[in-house]
Structure 1
Amino acid sequence: MGVSSYARVAASLLTVSSVIAQSSTITVDNQTVAVNASTLSPAVAIVSDEDLSAPETLQLTDAVVANLTSIDLANASLFAFDDNATSIDARSLGCKVFPGDQAYPSTLVWYIFDLLLGQSLIKTVPLAAPCYNDWPSEENAALCTTITNNWTDSYLHEEDPTSIMWPLYQGRTCMPTDDPTANCTLGAYPSYAVNVSSVAQIQLAVNFARNANLRLVVKNTGHDFNGKSAGAGALSIWTHHLRDITYIPEYNSTIYTGKAVKMGAGVRAFEIYTAAQSLGVTVVGGEGRTVGVGGGFLAGGGHSPLSSLYGMAADQVLSIEVVTPDGRFVTASLEENPDLFWGLRGGGGSTFGVVVSVTARVYPVLPVTVMTFSFATSTNLTSTTFWEGVRTYFDYFVEYTDAGIYAYFSTILTGADSYSFGMAPFFAPNKTVSEVEALVAPWFDRLAALGITITPVINEYSDFYDAWWANFPLETVGITNIKTASRLFPKSNWANDTSLNATFDAIKTTVELGGSFLAFNIAAAENDNSDNSVNPAWRGTCLHAILATLWDSSANDTTIVEASETLTYDWMQKWRDVSPNAGAYMSEADISEPNFQQAFYGTNYDRLYALKQQYDPKSLFYTPTGVGSENWYITGQLTGLPTQNGRLCPV
């Protein structure tokens, strides 16, 4: 959205306020409130600052909040900043208020909130509602067919204000169906969402949720493996449309002078990569095309096809614009609010505030060579030899990451004692075809000696974008019969044959038991900006491994819980046993991970918890496995099938 569009947003807010000001009362559902027309001002101030993006120039200020009291309504204080942030522990208030509670905001209050937002409040209608008769205003057979046919497409879910890409954690309450008489409920979808186009709207939503004791969630694209943007009865802040991109040819800070780019929180990987290509630079972003780079991806650390060469996405960040739990809009950098800056880069999404934009360093254009191949058991290749072939690859993990390689590969059980291995792809930034061939020659010679025949497909690209786009297809989402867990295996496990063989045997065993093994041979290189809250386990890793369990799509909750608990407490324990001091990548991990504090945050957790109490003492922001989440729980949960479909209450 360009500057002119934001000017229209500002004009819309002014118009809405003018409409209110021209009326002496507002009546909604037989509730009437008086309006003091002489002093009412719009819920936005336009701030002039050349360093701000267009959405950031529209802010909620103290003067604006003071003017809101001109509405003759006791609830005007619901939109005020928090000037006494340490005065109360939110847990003393009990559970977050829920639809139907006496304390839940009335229809009139929601109406006024919407007016102050410039009419950007959306009452949730589940994405698949057109398939159901019990949503009569939405039932539409043709639309249902379209939604059903595209349900696994990530674009469909990210363009919806409340849908998530992994509905297992929403409760599967409104899935596509060919039975229109079935029941569709909100489940863990938020009750309302704010379609954000300005900082002022985020501030209003943060203040309203905090003052009304509402559960608050944040959705960017909804990619998170554990559905963290879901929350029954919640108000959601939808940052998806914050997509400004600004090139900074000469950025100057304490540690960095050079080219940089500022991107809105809603900018997706394909958008920033496209922009970078046009600018003649390279940006460190995600592997998935539709991942929101400035959202939960970066907050969780953000692994990238360029991580073995340049480090995590969080390591590239030079400053962050954020709305904090008290409703204030602040800059976090090494020069301003450095403690918050440290926590936002790796400490998890929906924890310390709502990120509005991120400024990150960029790199020169670099060539990339990409290789793909596969092999599988057959009449000519026994399972014993197959596993020997996979084992040879493990010998080169450290060498390859030291060379800047990022490889995505899989090993899957395909039948009785049958397996397949797929390299898709071996991604080699700043390497030529001949350099890659020389690098893998020792490994390939060993495969040939075992009688394993492969036919590598190798392509060289002149820049990162073309290599990435051609080799990382759009991910499949929306599936409810899979659960995943992950582990960051440290390079120290490669120190000798004993520990390496134990690591390999643990992984092999879980695949033989039926787990699907998807993994990244990756390192997290460090730079002069790596003093952040990224899980320390990343700094010593050479293998980010994901293990998935699947069940029949018609399985009941009992079957799902059994499969889930087997993954968490049986299969994954084998991995933990051979890497006891390691961890896991929070954004692609098991929501039921035991001791998540250690696994996802490592030695940073105590500092992060203290920071959480400093910036969010009233626990406005909650997300499963987030910092401080152990102080809260969701009612009505099954042990092995945690969802966000319940009331949020203090422990």
Structure 2
Amino acid sequence: MLLPHLLAAASFLIPAVAAGDKTTPLVPRTWNGKKYACKCYYGDACWPSASEWKTLNNTVSGRLVPFIPPEAACHNFFNGTLFTIPTYNAAQCADVTTNYPVEQWINDQDAALMWRSWTNSSCVPTTNPSTPCTPGYYGIYIIRATTKSHVKAGIDFARRHSLRLIIRNTGHDFMGRSTGWGALVINVHGFQSVEFTSSYRGPKKEPYTGSAVTIAAGVQGRALLRLAAAQTPPVTLLTGECPTVSVAGGFVQGGGHGPLTTIFGFAADNVLSFDVVTAAGTYLTANAHQNADLFYALRGGGPGTYAVVVSATFKTFPDVPSAGATLYINSTLTNSSTVFWEGVRIFHGFANELIDAGLYTLYSLGPQMLRVKPFVAYNQTATQLDAVLAPMRAKLEAAGVPFTMAPASGYGTFLGLYLDLFDDERAGAPLLTGGWMFGRRDIAERNDAIVEAMKVALSPRADLVDKGYMVGHIFGPGHGVSKAKGAEAAVNPRFREASDLLLYNLPLPADSSIAQEDDIQDLLSNTVDRAMMRAAPDGLAYINEANPYMEDWQTHFWGPKVYPKLKKLKREWDPEGLFYSISTPGTEEWHVIEYGERLCKKL
């Protein structure tokens, strides 16, 4: 077997720490003249011995594997941290090349990430097998976990040896939290159980007794909605607009918005209970009546921050007839930039009205291209949706803006709408992402300024004209949310008065250098982010879809009232900092040094 062979080889190189539960001290290190205390990495004296890795493998039923990127099949060799091995396989390379942009394929890999800028793009599909393939910022070992005992074993091992630990689910991760150089990775995508109930029975004090579903960590949105619609009677629930997002993972831990958010709030507003493994390796249930402080933190307080969620229970709702519509303004209709942007201004100016009518709206915005797909009207007819959109149509027509908007379509179920109108995203492109959510007052009073900021995101510099790209989500997370004591999720209160979450992407050059990446990051932070903030001062940032390096992320993500609570809970539930996710509560003292490699505390 490959694993014991490699571990045996490694054991000749690296001394072992003593067995037992005592935590290995952090490793002293100096970088750029500053002193740090770092997690334990391969090459350090504290790195676990081959026999200790073998024991871990036995504990997790042989589910510990050394990381080899699937892209290695296109290269003659994988030059890994632990070993160099021949990897070229023409058939496998063809499969990888075909599937590299396919989101579900990425999700199903051990550790691959959808946005490869966070992996250092150091091993990609190629037609030249002699090019190097190295690990980049990926981990060293993967635990393909399928039980909570596997998760506990990984947590205990990482804590005992002071290893960097990564929790990876689908790799749908704009901010690089699902990967980390030299880490032990626990992959929870194998958790796939689903159990529905028509009458939820929680703790005795729990007032909610309606329908619910308990889902394991790896269950993805589209598959879950299909199962929900097959119930008698059919039900639905909060999922992401992207069909492959896992609902019980970082989605709900960051808040979780989707097509039903305007009606029912965030996923974090609708979760009833979590089953978790803590940083201490303890199995716990967290809900409004048991471990209520942890329950609060897990509902929007930051993904991968307080504990590992292995399953969660959510409210479900009737799957009812719904309506959808689309709108297009693009270069096939007009080549006039002035006319195009007037169309964007008119469309975006209706955001508050769309929300007040109960709608969710997803749109994409690129060079001379506005694609609104779809407008979603849950529990409304096509006639009702057309009536909501009529004032927008009239205003576009009066302004002389050419557009394509067919009459709204009615669907027998919300699932039918979702399957027809929501698309998978494409994976693989090297890019950086930022995001800003506009407040209702921003849109009502400053819509023109917001549109000007969108132009900056599209063309932030003379050498990047029309190179940006945006995706917007118009929803109202303040609608349909309980005001009862203890019901509030750990999200920024400004969300409840916000209307449009805009994501903006800037491309990285192929095989970009550190200097080039720093340049684009600086442009994102100091040009595009600042333009959005100036245009919409009532806005905020969404923890799962933003620039992790933005100034004062604590305030932008959570606000001055929520953030101190979460930082305190982080210290209580993870005092040693076992779980690290960039720009989440309590991470201020941790830094990734040596150009994206070691995770360390500054001394």
Common fold: TM-score over 0.5: yes
The alignment status of 1:365 with 2:319, answered yes or no, reads yes
Matches within 5 A, 1:210-221: 210-221=159-170
> How far 1:137 sits from its partner (Å)?
4.1
Q: Which amino acid aligns with 1:451?
A: G
> How far 1:131 sits from its partner (Å)?
1.4
Deviates more, 1:392-401 or 1:548-557: 548-557
2: CA distance, partners of 1:380 / 1:626: 44
Matches within 5 A, 1:81-160: 94-135=37-78, 136-160=85-109
Q: Which amino acid aligns with 1:541?
A: A
> How far 1:292 sits from its partner (Å)?
1.0
Aligned to 2:402: 453
* Matched-pair contact (CA < 8 Å) for 2:334–2:402: no
Aligned to 2:137: 188
* Matched-pair contact (CA < 8 Å) for 2:191–2:219: yes
1: CA distance, partners of 2:399 / 2:64: 62
1: CA distance, partners of 2:58 / 2:43: 23
Q: Which amino acid aligns with 1:649?
A: C
* Matched-pair contact (CA < 8 Å) for 2:346–2:392: yes
**Structure 1 alignment gaps of length 5 or more:** 1-26, 33-72, 414-418, 638-644
Change over 3 Å in CA distance of 1:276–1:633 after alignment to 2: same
1: CA distance, partners of 2:27 / 2:228: 43
Aligned match of 2:196 in 223, 243, 247? Answer: 247
Matches within 5 A, 1:463-542: 463-480=413-430, 482-496=431-445, 499-511=446-458, 513=460, 514=466, 515-524=468-477, 525-528=479-482, 530-542=487-499
Aligned to 1:314: 268
Aligned match of 1:548 in 490, 505, 525? Answer: 505
* Matched-pair contact (CA < 8 Å) for 1:376–1:421: yes
> How far 1:562 sits from its partner (Å)?
2.1
Aligned match of 1:646 in 592, 597, 603? Answer: 597
* Matched-pair contact (CA < 8 Å) for 2:260–2:360: yes
Aligned match of 1:277 in 202, 216, 229? Answer: 229
The alignment status of 1:613 with 2:571, answered yes or no, reads yes
Aligned to 1:35: none
Which secondary structure state, in structure 1, belongs to the residue aligned with residue 345 of structure 2? helix
Deviations 1:133-165 (A, max 9, x none): 223443212211210121111122221111111
Change over 3 Å in CA distance of 1:186–1:333 after alignment to 2: same
Aligned to 1:582: 539
Aligned match of 1:338 in 292, 299, 310? Answer: 292
2: CA distance, partners of 1:507 / 1:624: 26
The alignment status of 1:264 with 2:216, answered yes or no, reads yes
Change over 3 Å in CA distance of 1:597–1:30 after alignment to 2: closer
2: CA distance, partners of 1:126 / 1:294: 26
* Matched-pair contact (CA < 8 Å) for 1:244–1:267: yes
Provide the TM-score with structure 1 as the length reference: 0.82
* Matched-pair contact (CA < 8 Å) for 2:345–2:451: yes
* Matched-pair contact (CA < 8 Å) for 1:519–1:543: yes
2: CA distance, partners of 1:410 / 1:31: 52
Residues paired across the two proteins, number: 564
The alignment status of 1:173 with 2:122, answered yes or no, reads yes
**Structure 2 alignment gaps of length 5 or more:** 1-6, 29-34, 79-84, 461-465
* Matched-pair contact (CA < 8 Å) for 1:488–1:537: no
Q: Which amino acid aligns with 2:70?
A: L
Aligned to 2:591: 633
* Matched-pair contact (CA < 8 Å) for 1:165–1:227: no
Which secondary structure state, in structure 1, belongs to the residue aligned with residue 323 of structure 2? strand
* Matched-pair contact (CA < 8 Å) for 2:441–2:538: no
Change over 3 Å in CA distance of 1:379–1:221 after alignment to 2: closer
1: CA distance, partners of 2:102 / 2:47: 35
> How far 1:495 sits from its partner (Å)?
4.2
2: CA distance, partners of 1:617 / 1:330: 17
CA RMSD, aligned part only?
Answer: 2.4
* Matched-pair contact (CA < 8 Å) for 2:442–2:539: no
Matches within 5 A, 1:41-56: none
Change over 3 Å in CA distance of 1:137–1:381 after alignment to 2: closer
Q: Which amino acid aligns with 2:588?
A: E
Amino-acid identity (%): 31
The alignment status of 1:424 with 2:373, answered yes or no, reads yes
2: CA distance, partners of 1:264 / 1:379: 46
1: CA distance, partners of 2:25 / 2:65: 30
1: CA distance, partners of 2:372 / 2:86: 48
Name which one, 1 or 2, has greater alpha-carbon Rg.
1
Aligned to 2:463: none
Aligned to 1:229: 178
Aligned match of 2:556 in 584, 599, 611? Answer: 599
Change over 3 Å in CA distance of 1:169–1:509 after alignment to 2: closer
Deviations 1:475-504 (A, max 9, x none): 101111x222100111121343xx333333
1: CA distance, partners of 2:507 / 2:10: 51
> How far 1:336 sits from its partner (Å)?
0.1
Q: Which amino acid aligns with 1:636?
A: E
Which secondary structure state, in structure 2, belongs to the residue aligned with residue 588 of structure 1? coil
Deviations 1:593-627 (A, max 9, x none): 22111122223111100000011110001111122
Change over 3 Å in CA distance of 1:526–1:295 after alignment to 2: same
Q: Which amino acid aligns with 1:203?
A: K
Aligned match of 1:401 in 355, 360, 370? Answer: 355
Which secondary structure state, in structure 1, belongs to the residue aligned with residue 588 of structure 2? helix
Provide the TM-score with structure 2 as the length reference: 0.89
